[in-house]
Structure 1
Amino acid sequence: MPSPLPDAPIGIFDSGVGGLSVLRHIRAQLPHEHLIYFADSGFAPYGDKPEHVLIERVLAIGAFLVEQGAKAIVVACNTATVAAIAALRERYPGMPIVGVEPGLKPAAAASRNGLVGVLATERTLAGTKFLLLRDQIAQSTGARFLLQPCIGLADQIEFGTLESAETDALLRRFILPLLEEGADTLVLGCTHYPLVQASIERVIAGSTDRPVTLIDTGEAVARQLARLLAAGGISRAATDAPARLDGYTSASSTALASAFSGLLGLDPPTHEVVADSAGGMLIGQNN
């Protein structure tokens, strides 16, 4: 691969719209950077796919982002990070590649009583890498992590039903047992979950008078990305030319445009992408 130029874009991808919560932090911390966002909604959910299938898919998305000129890649999906970021880094050595992981270490530091609830997908919570990290941090800090798989929550958010009785019912089902056990800190261990943070805060406020800290790792991802770009000398400087944002999806470009507008108040161009016969990606219809 040729050496990337500072003006090249950063590629960000997720199984759907959840990674927009990470993109929000990246735009806030790196406002001058060009960004490409890929929502793999046509292949979602990732959690029910075998690991070798996820690795193949992530490598295909990585190749697509590199073809679009990406100088760095952010895997804005916990499941994809656990399953495939090692393969992506092996494929593109030297490229800044940042993944997301549940923020167990900052949660342990933030907790006052050492009881931390972790909201995440079944796949994330069952991952060997996650369990090793949990054990290491528990041993070093004395924190106890209460793991709560949130079956169906990411799908509910992906469908755009952020404010609904069904979403609130799911949140209560997952959060109340953690509060009853005494958790004073909750990790939002899937990039979809910060998109319903207001609803999560309402559930907490209606269930306990104790202060409960929420941990969203998107800000830490943005900081790490900034460090890697600066270390590689490929940060884009402020210029008169505004930063670009483009959206791509393996599903409906109209749905992605609605997500950008409804969740972030943005109106970037969006494009539908299909796989070619060789398993690569082709740009289809624009929105």
Structure 2
Amino acid sequence: MKTVGVFDSGVGGLSVLRALLAELPGTRFVYVADSAHAPYGERSAAEVSARTDRITAHLREAHGIDALVLACNTATAHAIDELRKTHPDLPVVGVEPALKPAATSSRSGRIGVLATRGTLGSARFAQLLERQIHAATRPLHFSCQPCDGLADAIERHDAPATLALCERYLQTLSEQAGPDMDTLVLGCTHYPFAAEVLSRLCGPQVTLVDTGTPVARRTRQVLGTTATAGGSATPPLLLASASPDALAQAAQRWLNIQIPASGLPV
């Protein structure tokens, strides 16, 4: 059985783990929530890179992972290139805002992007955005909105704060994008857990796009087809650098998995 590490600053990466469990039922997953240092989107690139490297080393040494999924847009933006250099023998799958799927599916070409300030301010995101605009065969307009505090509100399962922040950021985004925006990219793995609120506020004319399923399919590819063998999904191992109970509760709430979580010793 292959073992895959899945890493996020908090519980948001559970949205990616959910897709991974469906795609790779015969795989053992070790999920790490670096809750003591969340949210990454409001930390420096150096801090994010240092935590990513330290946790990757732990996952390799303690759990012998065969691949790593960086289920965090900010960690991918700031750390994945260096991580691949440091661990050239370890397949690393990152997550990025789903600009390409959004560009393909949008009818109007006017696309909103909600993400952390760290993701939107990264060189990797700038390059991703430029590639999509240059590759397009029609005019595209991406309106990008940093969402300070939203990942943290979702992390704390604070429904009133989540609603208030979604209202605020969508109002600002709609002023930028105009009434023809028909696609909204959820550029943080926390945000799918606010999809119901976002969809209600946007209305049925706006399609929400996230990255969970494409990341799961890519992970299956890098592991090889033998990794898909098996019946029912194997329960993941849950680790948190702070508040393991909160991680266990989030897994029960969003993944319908009732298992305890343990502390992360790094």
Rounded Cα–Cα distance in structure 1 between residues aligned with 2:140 and 2:228 = 40
Tell me which stretches of 4 or more aligned residues in structure 1 moved more than 4 Å.
none
Q: Is the 8 A contact 2:167 2:201 kept in 1?
A: yes
Matched, 1:260 2:260: no
The equivalent of 1:11 in structure 2 is: 5
Residue-pair matches, total: 260
Letter in 2 for 1:92: H
Sequence identity, in percent?
A: 44
Q: CA deviation at 1:136?
A: 1.8
Matched, 1:189 2:187: yes
Q: Is the 8 A contact 2:42 2:148 kept in 1?
A: no
Letter in 2 for 1:146: S
Q: What runs of 5+ residues in structure 2 fail to find an aligned partner?
A: none
The equivalent of 1:285 in structure 2 is: none
- State the structure with more CA Rg: 1
Q: Which moved more, 1:105-114 or 1:177-186?
A: 177-186
Structure of greater relative contact order (alpha carbons < 8 Å, 6+ residues apart) = 2
Q: Secondary structure in 1 aligned to 2:205?
A: coil
Q: Is the 8 A contact 1:58 1:84 kept in 2?
A: yes
**Would the alpha carbon gap of residues 50 and 166 (structure 1) be closer, same or farther in structure 2, given more than 3 Å must change?**
closer
With normalisation by structure 2, the TM-score equals 0.93
The equivalent of 1:221 in structure 2 is: 215
The equivalent of 1:284 in structure 2 is: none
Q: Secondary structure in 1 aligned to 2:264?
A: strand
Rounded Cα–Cα distance in structure 2 between residues aligned with 1:42 and 1:130 = 25
Matched, 1:74 2:78: no
The equivalent of 2:98 in structure 1 is: 103
Backbone CA RMSD of aligned residues = 1.6
**Would the alpha carbon gap of residues 71 and 149 (structure 1) be closer, same or farther in structure 2, given more than 3 Å must change?**
same
Q: What runs of 5+ residues in structure 1 fail to find an aligned partner?
A: 1-6, 275-280, 282-287
The equivalent of 2:147 in structure 1 is: 150
Q: Within 5 Å, which residues of 2 pair with 1:1-287?
A: 7-67=1-61, 68-141=63-136, 142-161=139-158, 164-180=159-175, 181=178, 182-205=180-203, 211-230=205-224, 235=227, 237-238=229-230, 243-274=234-265, 281=266
Letter in 1 for 2:214: A
Q: CA deviation at 1:177?
A: 3.6
Rounded Cα–Cα distance in structure 2 between residues aligned with 1:252 and 1:211 = 39
Q: More helix per residue: 1 or 2?
A: 2
Q: Is the 8 A contact 1:168 1:203 kept in 2?
A: no
Q: Is the 8 A contact 1:156 1:167 kept in 2?
A: yes
Rounded Cα–Cα distance in structure 1 between residues aligned with 2:226 and 2:58 = 20
Q: Is the 8 A contact 2:25 2:228 kept in 1?
A: no
Q: Which moved more, 1:184-193 or 1:134-143?
A: 134-143
